[in-house]
Amino acid sequence: MADMTGRDLSGQNLKEKDLSGYNLSRANLTRADLSDAFMHKANLEGATLEKANLFRANLLEANLCGADLREANLIGADLSGADLRGANLQGAKVGFEDRVMVKLTGANLQGAIMPNGKVHGAQTS
The per-residue pLDDT for 121 is: 41
CATH superfamily for domain 1-115: E3 ubiquitin-protein ligase SopA (2.160.20.80)
- pTM value is 0.85
Closest CA to 110 of 75, 73, 69: 69
Domain regions of the chain by residue span: 1-115
The per-residue pLDDT for 123 is: 46
For 69-118, the pLDDT digits (tens) are: 999 999 999 988 899 999 999 999 987 655 456 777 788 777 787 665 45
b/e per residue 44-66 (b: at least 16 CB within 10 A): bbbbbbbbbbbbbbbbbbbbbbb
For 1-35, the pLDDT digits (tens) are: 699 999 999 999 999 999 999 999 999 999 999 99
Give the pairing type, strands 102-103 and 93-94: unpaired
For 53-73, the pLDDT digits (tens) are: 999 999 999 999 999 999 999
